[in-house]
Amino acid sequence: MALSLPAKFASDIQGRDTNLIPLVVIDAQSSITNNYIYISTNSIFFANDSYMPLLLNIPSLKESIDIEKRNYKISNVTLDISNFPYEGKRFSEHVSDTSLINTNVNIYWKSPSSITLEDADDNSGDALNIYRGTVRRYNHDDEKVKLVLEDRSQAMVH
């Protein structure tokens, strides 16, 4: 199956220089809160949501398949998030009322002309959804929060 890119995104990456911004959407909904947490490397307002500039690294993805041995290595993504106060609140305080374990996380690439996120149901939108996963490990100290995400394919592949 070929990767289909949103039209605006495909147009933006045709040139020699690109300007892509990672956007991370954490589904931190619980019985107490009904919130999503939006973080990025930049402080931006995108698709009616304000993204906090707390992301310390640009996520990288790795995946491998060994057809001969029938091994499939699940892609893991590690997100390093600043835990210094931003607008009077630390990231760990944003998630203190809910457990992040098994929380859904989506990572997108936003290009300059992108104005909406890709919808998982109908693939509409301008920003490219590059990763869908769940939080497997979460730890933090006073400086940094580390989230380890695992691709959802483990639930389907044995």
Tens digit of each residue's pLDDT (9 = 90 or more) over 90-129? 998 888 877 889 899 999 999 998 888 866 555 678 898 8
Tens digit of each residue's pLDDT (9 = 90 or more) over 43-71? 999 988 999 999 998 877 766 777 777 77
Residue 140's alpha-carbon distances to 11, 39, 42, 143, in angstroms, are 39, 16, 21, 8
Q: What is the pLDDT of residue 10?
A: 87
Most confidently modeled of 1-5, 13-17, 145-149?
A: 145-149
Distance CA 2, CA 25 (A): 24
